[in-house]
A and B are shown apart, each in its own frame.
Chain A
Amino acid sequence: MNNRRDFLKALSASTTAALMARAPRLMGAEVLHQPKATADSCILLWMAGGMAAPETFDPKRYQPFVKGAPMANILSTFPSIRTAVDNINFCQGLENIASVMDRGTIIRSAVQADLGSILHSRHQYHWHTGYVPPQTVAAPHIGAWMAKILGPKNPVMPAFINIGQRLEGVGESEELKAFTTGGFFGSEFGPMNLPYPDQAAASVRPPKGMTPDRFQSRRALLTKLLAQSPHREYLSDHQQESMLRSLDNAHRLLSSKERDAFDINLEPKESYDIYNTGRFGQGCLLARRLVENGARFIEVTTEYVPFFQWDTHKDGHAVAERMHKEIDQPIAQLIKDLESRKLLDRTLVIVASEFSRDAMMEGGPGSQANDQATVRGDTLESPAHYGLHRHFTQGSSVLMFGGGVKKGHVHGATADERPLVAIKDPVTIPDLHATIFTAMGISPKTVFDIEQRPFYATLDGKGKAVDSIFG
Chain B
Amino acid sequence: MNRFIIPFALTLVSVVPAVAVDFVHEIAPILKKNCAECHMGIKHKGGFSMNTREDLLKENDDGAAVLIGDSAKSLLMHQITTDDEDERMPPKGDRLQEKEVQLIAAWINAGVPWEPGFTFKNSTYEPPLKPRRPVLPAVQNGRAHPIDRIIDAYLTKNKITSPVAIDEASFVRRVYLDLIGVLPSSEALQAYLADTRPDKRAILVQSLLAQNVPYATHWMTFWNDLLRNDYTGTGFITGGRSQISEWLFRSLAENKPYNQFASELIAPTKESEGFANGIKWRGSVSAGQTVPIQYAQSVGQTFLGINLKCASCHDSFTDNWKLTDSYGLAAAFSNEKIEIARCDKPTGKIAEPYWLYPELGKIDVSQPPAVRLKQVAALTTTPANGRFSRTIVNRLWHRLMGRGIVHPVDAMSSEPWNADLLDYLATYLVDNQYDLKKVMAHICLSQAYQSKTAPLLTDDESKWKYQGPRAKRMTAEEFVDAVWQITGTAPAKSDFVPKAAPAKGASSAAKATWIWSNDGVNSPAGETIAFRKNIELKNPVALAKACISCDNAFTLSINGKEVVKSDDWMKPVVVDLKPYLVVGANEIQIIGRNGGAGPNAAGLYVTILLQQGDQRAAIVSDSSWQTTAAAGGVIPPNAVWTSAVPCGNQLAWSLIDADVANAMSQTIVSSNHMVRAGLMKSDFLMRALGRPNREQIVTSRPSDLTTLEAMDLNNGSVLAQLLEKGAAKLLVTHASNPSGMIDMLYWRSLSRAPTPEEKALAVEVLGTAPTSETIQDLLWTIFMLPEFQLIR
Contacts and interface: CB of A to CB of B under 8 A. Distances in A.
A249 B410 contact: no
A31 B2 CA distance: 12
B614 interface: no
Interface in B404-422: 407-408, 410-411
Given A175-B237, A221-B777, A254-B715, A28 B117 contact: yes
A217 B777 contact: yes
Interface residues of B, number: 92
Interface in A103-139: 115-119, 122, 132-138
B737 interface: no
B643 to A, nearest CB: 59
A447 B116 contact: yes
Nearest to B403: A21
A251 B700 CA distance: 28
Given A17-B702, A175-B234, A454-B115, A238 B790 contact: no
B695 interface: yes
Given A247-B714, A254-B715, A445-B1, A137 B696 contact: yes
A205 interface: yes
Nearest to B283: A116
Interface stretch (A225-233, A264-272, A322-330): A225-233
Contacts of B456: 237-239
A203 B715 CA distance: 7
B3 A236 contact: no
Contacts of B720: 207-208
A229 B785 contact: yes
A32 interface: yes
Most A Cβ at <10 Å: residue of B1, B310, B312: B1
A226 B758 CA distance: 9
Interface stretch (A187-195, A309-317, A343-351): A187-195
A358 to B, nearest CB: 19
Interface stretch (B20-28, B188-196, B208-216, B555-563): B20-28
A208 B777 CA distance: 13
Interface string B453-487: 00111111100000000010100000000000000
B703 interface: yes
A447 B117 CA distance: 11
B693 A136 contact: no
B761 A135 contact: no
Contact of A242 (B310, B705, B785): B705
A174 interface: yes
Contact of A136 (B309, B457, B787): B309
Interface stretch (B70-78, B284-292, B362-370, B505-513): B284-292
Nearest to A230: B755
A445 B3 contact: yes
Contacts of A164: none
Given A31-B116, A187-B690, A221 B710 contact: no
A32 B2 CA distance: 11
A19 interface: yes
B717 interface: yes
Contacts of A224: 761
B237 to A, nearest CB: 6
Given A116-B283, A188-B708, A462 B785 contact: no
Contact of B711 (A134, A210, A228, A254): A254
Contacts of B792: 231, 234
A445 B5 CA distance: 14
A305 interface: no
Given A22-B408, A237-B456, A249 B710 contact: yes
B36 interface: no
B359 interface: no
26 contacts: A20-B704, A22-B700, A122-B282, A133-B281, A134-B285, A158-B708, A171-B237, A175-B237, A177-B234, A187-B690, A188-B707, A192-B711, A222-B781, A225-B785, A226-B785, A228-B757, A229-B758, A237-B456, A238-B459, A239-B790, A240-B455, A244-B786, A253-B707, A445-B3, A460-B3, A460-B24
Interface of B: 1-3, 20, 22, 24-25, 115-117, 232-238, 279, 281-286, 288-289, 294, 297, 307, 309-310, 312, 318-319, 403, 407-408, 410-411, 455-461, 471, 473, 684, 687-688, 690, 692-693, 695-696, 700, 702-711, 713-717, 720, 755, 757-758, 761-762, 765, 773, 777-778, 780-782, 784-787, 789-790, 792
